[in-house]
Structures are given as C-alpha cells and as structure tokens.
Amino acid sequence: MPVMPRRKRKQFYVRRKVCRFCVDANLPIDYKDVNTLRQFVTERGKIIPRRISGNCARHQRRVTRAIKQARLLALIAYTPQVPIT
C-alpha cells in the first residue's frame, strides 16, 4: 500500500483588514454619500458583510443603516434592474 503523503496544510495569509472608518475618523457615513456607500454593496445590491468589508461592528451598523436609507430614497437600487445573466 502506498503511503499517502501527508497533505500539506494550506497556508493562509491572513491580512488583517482594518475598518477604514476607524482609520479616518473624518470619513462620514451618510445616506446622501452614494459613492462611498456603493463600495459596500455588491453589483447585485447586497450589502457586503463585515467579514469581507473589514469594517468594525459599530461602523458596519452605520453603513448598513445608511445603505437602507439610501435605498428608500432611490439613491441606491435594491436590486439591479437589468437581470445579470
């Protein structure tokens, strides 16, 4: 029986993401600031999770809130109009 070589453990480079709103305290989170909010939304209009965006909990809550407010005012789409195929 051939001995299976011990599988090498996958190496992850965990690059610690930092919350950019914490880094720059002047960066506002505002429902009117559509360009900033777009960065936290996927093409399909979903809110990017904290795990990916790297925001801290407090700022993620604010971003989420701002996105939802912007959606209400039709500044950001809830969902793309043209279906992605």
Q: Does residue 47 sit in helix, strand or coil?
A: strand
**Per-residue contact flags (x/-) with other proteins for residues 61 to 80, judged by CB under 8 A:** --------x-xxxxxxxxxx
**Per-residue contact flags (x/-) with other proteins for residues 15 to 44, judged by CB under 8 A:** x-x-------------xx--x--xxxxxx-
CB 13 within 8 A of CB 49: no
**Dihedral over alpha carbons 67, 64, 19, 44 (to 10 degrees):** -60
CB 47 within 8 A of CB 67: yes
81 lies in the site for other proteins, by CB under 8 A: yes
CA dist 56 to 14, 23, 64, Å? 17, 11, 12
Taking the complex as a whole, the smallest distance from the CB of residue 58 to other proteins amounts, in Å, to: 18
Taking the complex as a whole, the smallest distance from the CB of residue 26 to other proteins amounts, in Å, to: 17
- Which residues would be at the binding site for other proteins (CB under 8 A)? 2, 4-5, 7-8, 10-15, 17, 31-32, 35, 38-43, 48, 52-54, 69, 71-82
